[in-house]
Amino acid sequence: MQHTATLAAGDTLHPDALFDGVDLRRLAERIPTPFHAYSANAIRARIAGLQDALHGLDATLCYAIKANSNVAILQLMAEAGVGADIVSSGELWRALHAGIPAERIVFSGVGKTAGEIAEALAAGIQRFNLESADELDMLQTLAEELGTTARAAVRINPDVDAQTHAKISTGKAENKFGVSIDEARRWFAGSARFPNVRLDGLHVHIGSQILSVEPFRLALARVAAFWRELENAGHAIASIDVGGGLGVRYREGQAPIAPADYGQAIRDALAGFRGRILLEPGRYLVAEAGVLLTRVVRVKQGERRRFLVLDAAMNDLLRPSLYDAWHDIVALVGEPRPRHRYDVVGPVCETGDTFAVDRELPELRAGDLVLIRTTGAYGAAMASTYNSRPLAAEVLLDSGRHAIVRRRQSFEEMVAGEQPARDWETA
Ligand SMILES: *Cc1c(COP(=O)(O)O)cnc(C)c1O
């Protein structure tokens, strides 16, 4: 049976509207709020949409695990043949643990340590996306020690404005990511200096939450020109990794780039390329598949503003505090109610613990259920236990059924590893 995996637009949910076949109000009667819920079918639909758009190309999706690294989500990716883009050995461990094969794992990030590189080499990952000459030297040294050859791509900083929030823009010359084409050119020219690194890939990732295909076209054009130049100079390029960054709908009027348009941009830019194309979508695959369910603790009338205090907080969903990000908020109340303007806040002792300012919503009372939309990416993944609030539960929904994929952390789990200062030593 096919269940709708998307929620209708608007700030109320129709009484019998379901998310992946599950009645969220009934679910919230069984599972204490706050908790994250993810639609498996919404994720599968996003994967299939991208795979369709890339049909006929030698293309592999490497899901950027940092967006949502829950093991159940990773298993879903593995089942769909999706690989992983990792940025730490913790993510390497998660990916392998969830059944993603090493040959579908790529490793990005400016701060890979020697230990992390050695672990990834030992695991036999598909390739390293290198971000500095120092990292290239380190990879050569470690691969030589292990008696192996590492496959690597150079991450190009194409100096393109992704037209997104400054904190999630990564492809400008002043950002810490990647190297200039000039520097990459020197790497290829000097490749004899690192015999244990097979440098035969290009990588680019210009930022996140990109809603127009133009920045992608611009970045890909620069990478493609460089690929042609390298081929002409005798450097065979086996893979081009086009990164992630596809944006999603956080509010009315926003729409993701159609997969077909994105696929076309890749086909246009890389026409004639015979190697493998890698993609690293994160947010696009999971963001809209997730919602955060929370209840109203109380309504507080201040001097100037009316505060809707929820039982979820910035520790459960950091994006509004971190990036001033907008998330649609839906009141899960059946009957029509008068409307008011609220500042929607959490209980954490920070003014920044604010989900929305001056947001119009139906009148709400203590105990009412509220849903925050588009929280499947960079939601639970960025959670903390700040204010000693245990990590929230995560629930996977699939065609009318639900399964807890992370139980709510207990207080004991929250302090696991902490201990009184008993065993004093001197270094
Ligand atoms: C974060 C990241 C991604 C995923 O970005 P999204 O915007 O979530 O698609 C892909 N590649 C790299 C190198 C990243 O750092």
Q: Does residue 68 line the site of ligand 1, with CB under 6 A? A: no
Give pLDDT, residue 349.
Answer: 93
251 and 358 belong to one structural domain: no
383 and 401 assigned to the same domain? yes
Q: What stretch of H or E contains 105?
A: strand 105-107
Mutate to test the pocket of ligand 1, among 43, 63, 85, 378 (most ligand atoms within 8 A of CB): 85
Q: Are residues 136 and 277 in the same domain?
A: yes
125 and 23, same domain (yes or no)? no
Task: Tally the domains of the chain.
Answer: 2
Q: Identify the active-site residue in 349, 417, 418, 427.
A: 349
Structure confidence at residue 3 (pLDDT): 47
Q: Is the CB of 259 under 6 A from ligand 1?
A: no
Segment 326-345, tens digit of pLDDT: 999 999 998 899 999 999 99
Cα dihedral 354→38→332→373 (10° resolution): 40
Q: What are phi and psi of 307, to 5 degrees?
A: -105, 130
Residues paired with residue 150 on neighbouring β-strands, in sequence order: 197
Q: Which of 224, 250, 281 is the last residue of a domain?
A: 281
- Cross-strand bridge partners of residue 241: 203, 278
Give the domain-ending residue among 258, 281, 304.
281
Q: What percent of the chain has pLDDT over 90?
A: 89
- Is 419 part of any domain? no
Domain carrying residue 371: 2-39+287-412
Residue 368: the pLDDT is 97
Which tokens hold the place of 404? 């807890």
Give the Cα separation of 151 and 148 in Å (integer).
Answer: 10
Query: If you measure from the C-alpha of residue 88 to the centroid of ligand 1, how many angstroms do you get, rounded to a whole number?
Result: 13
Q: Is 217 inside any structural domain?
A: yes
Task: Note if 349 is an active site residue.
Answer: yes
Do 272 and 297 sit in the same domain of this protein?
A: no
- The position carrying tokens 């005798």 is 234
User: In CATH, what number is assigned to the domain containing residue 377?
Assistant: 2.40.37.10
Query: What is the CATH number for 268?
Result: 3.20.20.10
Q: Which of 166, 86, 72 is nearest to 127 (CA)?
A: 86
Q: How confident is the model at residue 2 (pLDDT cuts 50, 70, 90)?
A: very low
What lies within 8 Å, CB to CB, of 159 at 6+ separation is: 171, 172, 173, 180
Q: Average pLDDT for residues 295-318, to the nearest whole number?
A: 97
Check whether 163 has a pLDDT greater than 90: no
Residue 402 forms beta bridges with which residues?
Answer: 397
If asked whether residues 6 and 151 sit together in one domain, one would say: no
Q: How does pLDDT run across 195-251, given as a tens digit for each residue?
A: 999 999 999 999 999 999 999 999 999 999 999 999 999 999 999 999 999 999 999
Q: Clarify whether residues 225 and 116 are in a common domain.
A: yes
Decide if pLDDT at 12 tops 60. no
389 lines ligand 1 (CB under 6 A): no
Structure confidence at residue 16 (pLDDT): 47
Cα–Cα distance measured from residue 256 to residue 209, given in angstroms and rounded to the nearest whole number: 9
In angstroms, the CA 217 to CA 159 distance is 13
DSSP 10: S
Name the domain boundary from 251, 281, 311: 281
Residue 402 and residue 365 in one domain: yes
Asked whether residue 307 falls in the same domain as residue 378, the answer is yes
For residue 426, tell me if it sits in a domain. Answer: no
pLDDT reading at 161 higher than 80: yes
